[in-house]
Amino acid sequence: MMSPTPAGPRGRRRRYVHRPRPAIVVALLLVVVVLAAGLAAPVSGQRRWVVAFANVTEEPGVTLEGTGFTGPEIRESFTLAARPYPMDLVFYDNHRDDTRAVANAEDAIARKVDLYVQYHRGPDANAAVGEKLKAARIPVLAVNYPVPGAPLYTIDNVAAGRVAGEALAAFATRTWPGQPMVAVVIGRVSAAADRVPERVRGATEALRDRLPAARVTALDTQGNPAQVAPLLGAFLSAHPSRKVLIAATDDSTTLAAKAAVESAGRVRDAAIVGHGVDRTIHGGMNDKKEIDPTNRNSIVIGSVAFYLDRLGYEVLPLAVRMLRGEPVPSRIVTAHKLITAANVFIEYPPYDMN
């Protein structure tokens, strides 16, 4: 604050003299301190966070969580989702290996990252990673598999299965009221490591709740889509006069099931809902897509979205909240949604024009 000095008795020109007052000096110092702290915070753009993401695997061709999504797709989603934030990403590949997972965390500690996102199945390794990072005072965010003491973002297989079962039941009630029907859940139904049995349970429970008269059968392809045709073909032959509701555990099984139904000449008797919504089923602008606004009469009603290709967009906002010291829930689940010909372009607007 500047204050004018009164004119002297001889009419000398006014001189402006700096007369600091203690309270004002303290206030100014506080302002400087606050501003400096603000500038140092990452939100100001002056300091960038370093966030590590340890992916479960980036091995080409390996699909994750019983869906068609791959590790590189998940990594790419983190790269894209990080763009608005003052954030640099460090990527690790856990290679589905406990030793590697722990070594990756140790490397991140040495790098002094600000936050660690851990996507790994092994509970022992996750516990060790959690302990090491806690000792280093680096917050952890777990993806799909818990790390003790860390918030968990995860897909919800039971909920996804319920969405599929309810969609099939709603279709059957609307389209085939009073007609005899059976239901089948087909795919890698026993793949416990990928928690597919939870998906099967959700679908089965929803079908039984909504259609108590319909018997639900599980057919295990053990991950081999070539097994869909013989298994489903036999099932269709055994139920020649019934409508058949098919919950496929993933999109490749969905497409194989559709082919099997067509081969059996039972298109009028079947409806299919899949899980995942990977690119094999929604594709790009010019791909031939099963779920497409111009293909509304398909017996594939839709597929339940797992959004693993958008995992980064779900996880990084949580990471930012943690970095800002804001609370996050201990468990956050994917909002699974049925993707159909009516909403696929809303949920997955095509942008790659090849």
Pick 265 or 349: Cβ nearer other proteins: 349
Question: Which tokens is 277 given?
Answer: 């919504």
Least distance in angstroms from the C-beta of 343 to other proteins: 11
Residues 205-264 that bind other proteins (CB under 8 A): none
Least distance in angstroms from the C-beta of 80 to other proteins: 6
Q: Does 17 bind other proteins (CB under 8 A)?
A: no
Pick 212 or 349: Cβ nearer other proteins: 349
Least distance in angstroms from the C-beta of 328 to other proteins: 21
Q: Does 351 bind other proteins (CB under 8 A)?
A: yes
- Spell out the SS3 assignment of the chain: CEEECCCCCCCCCCCEEECCCHHHHHHHHHHHHHHHHHHHCHHHCCCCEEEEEEECCCCCCCECCCCCCEHHHHHHHHHHHCCCCCEEEEEEECCCCHHHHHHHHHHHHHHCCCEEEECCCCHHHHHHHHHHHHHCCCCEEEECCCCCCCCEEECCHHHHHHHHHHHHHHHHHHHCCCCCEEEEEEECCCCHHHCHHHHHHHHHHHHHHHCCCCEEEEEECCCCHHHHHHHHHHHHHHCCCCEEEEEECCHHHHHHHHHHHHHCCCHHHEEEEEEECCHHHHCCCCCCCCCCCCCCCCCEEEEEECCHHHHHHHHHHHHHHHHCCCCCCCEEECCCCEEECCCHHHHCCCCCCC
Angle, helices 157-175/196-210, rounded to nearest 10 degrees: 30
> Closest by alpha carbon to 272, among 164, 173, 188?
164
Least distance in angstroms from the C-beta of 346 to other proteins: 8
**Segment contacting other proteins (CB under 8 A): 75-83, 263-271, 291-299, 329-337?**
75-83
> Closest by alpha carbon to 293, among 234, 350, 217, 250?
350
Q: Does 287 bind other proteins (CB under 8 A)?
A: no
Q: Which of 285, 318, 321, 330 binds other proteins (CB under 8 A)?
A: 285
Pick 233 or 350: Cβ nearer other proteins: 350
Least distance in angstroms from the C-beta of 48 to other proteins: 11
Q: Does 173 bind other proteins (CB under 8 A)?
A: no
**Segment contacting other proteins (CB under 8 A): 55-63, 173-181, 251-259, 343-351?**
343-351
Q: What is the total count of residues that contact other proteins (CB under 8 A)?
A: 18
Least distance in angstroms from the C-beta of 280 to other proteins: 18
Pick 85 or 116: Cβ nearer other proteins: 85
Q: Does 24 bind other proteins (CB under 8 A)?
A: no
Q: Does 353 bind other proteins (CB under 8 A)?
A: yes
Q: Which of 41, 80, 229, 333 binds other proteins (CB under 8 A)?
A: 80
Pick 176 or 345: Cβ nearer other proteins: 345
Q: C-alpha angle 104/106/111, rounded to 5°? A: 95
Point out which residues pair with 305 in neighbouring strands.
Answer: 276
Least distance in angstroms from the C-beta of 286 to other proteins: 6
Least distance in angstroms from the C-beta of 348 to other proteins: 8
- Euclidean distance between the first and final Cα of the chain, in Å? 64
Q: Does 46 bind other proteins (CB under 8 A)?
A: no
Least distance in angstroms from the C-beta of 313 to other proteins: 6
Pick 225 or 283: Cβ nearer other proteins: 283
Q: Does 288 bind other proteins (CB under 8 A)?
A: no
Pick 42 or 149: Cβ nearer other proteins: 42
Binding site for other proteins (CB under 8 A): 79-80, 83-84, 285-286, 310, 313, 345-354
